[in-house]
Amino acid sequence: MKKIIVFLMIILLTSGCGKEKNIQSYIGRDKEFVSINYPVTNINILDDAISSYVNNVYYQFKNIDYDGIPELNISYTYKEVNEDIVNVSLQTEIVTDKTINKIKTFTYNKANDRFLTMEDLVQDLNTLDYEIKKELLEKYQDADMDYLSNVSYDYFTVDDENLTIYFNPAEIKSKHDELIYLDIPLDSLKLLIDIDKTKGNDVYLSIKKKNVDIDDKVVALTFDDGPSKYTAKILDVLKKYGASATFFLVGNKVDFYGDILRRMLNEGSEIGNHSYDHKRLTRLSKEDFQIEINKTQEAIKKLTGFTPTLFRPTYGGYTKTLKSYTDLKFVLWDVDSRDWQVKSTDKILKNILPNVKSGSIILMHDNHEYALKALDKIIVNLKNQGYKFVTVSELLELKKLRESE
């Protein structure tokens, strides 16, 4: 166990080495369900604080005494408030025999190299104090009065419309498991900072169709858990051989990779939905499951204009009931690279090549470099066997045509 923890900590603490902003991602499937995603901003002090927090949460999670399979989800929001101020929130969910939710936020001013407090943002917080406490009591009648008398505003985020103040359930001593928060319209505040309210241009893209004959040998490469800093290089390899793939994306990561998503579609690949936070879906309510789906759909459409029609359930787990909650088509696989586990090009090739047949769907992951290192050899080998690389939608369409003959 110690080796696993140290290994992950090395990954997290060295994640700020790249020149561009990106998302650090870790998906664990062995004796635990773990999904950790957080931004690497290349602001050293901020990145150190974020990775330190994530490492601490993961260390505590690994030491939980629980007979079942525990689950940890860390997701984020990222906002460039203006050209100097960056706001990051990390939301943690730990699931054992109970569910624990908590949040940590960081607001950092690059101009003076320091973290900001609420007093740095709002001109007169005292005038709001009474109204905030009053609304908290109205919203959560079981809140602890002693706590409310000394309430602090340590956790907050800012977007174009609201200042959102968060309170961890354990701190406010409410019976609620979910995070407690209040949205305060910016128009009602006297702010000490400027908020950039930029609107992006609408983009409308679709998948480029390929010419495929009904008798062609076809195979669909699929990549889960991205996008990531490796996705662009995967696209480079696909382009080199005129191949395409289907990328099942985690919704909370896509904002950092808008250009990559648009490139996927422009070069003939397809985008699918892989939930928003990579939670274990079989334990979610209908409402929570649909939130995971819809937030991802909206994030992808906002960046590309493209609306996915395919969904891959996290960890491959689903039920008939879950399928009834969405119109998206569930897509699994018949060839598993096990790239996340074997971490070797030769072993990945052995897991894939002997098992491929026409119509196969191959599972790989683009949130680490193992799949990238093997991809060139996979494509060359299968092309030499006469395979064409199509998207999952194209493969399914071809299967229907064959069945109708």
- 48 part of the active site: no
SS3 224: strand
- Among the options 47, 224, 225, 366, which is catalytic? 224
- Which helix (H) or strand (E) segment holds residue 400: the answer is helix 392-404
- 278 part of the active site: no
Q: Which residues contact 212 (CB under 8 A, 6 or more apart)?
A: 218, 388, 390, 394, 398
Instruction: Give the Cα separation of 276 and 3 in Å (integer).
Output: 29
CA-to-CA dists, residue 119 to 83, 109, 124, 153, angstroms: 20, 14, 8, 9
Instruction: Give the Cα separation of 311 and 95 in Å (integer).
Output: 24
SS3 374: helix
Torsion on CA atoms 257, 259, 264, 268, rounded to nearest 10? 170
Q: How many CA atoms lie within 13 A of 334 on its CB side?
A: 11
- Among the options 339, 365, 366, 368, which is catalytic? 365
- Which helix (H) or strand (E) segment holds residue 304: the answer is helix 286-304
Q: What is the set of active-site residues?
A: 224, 365
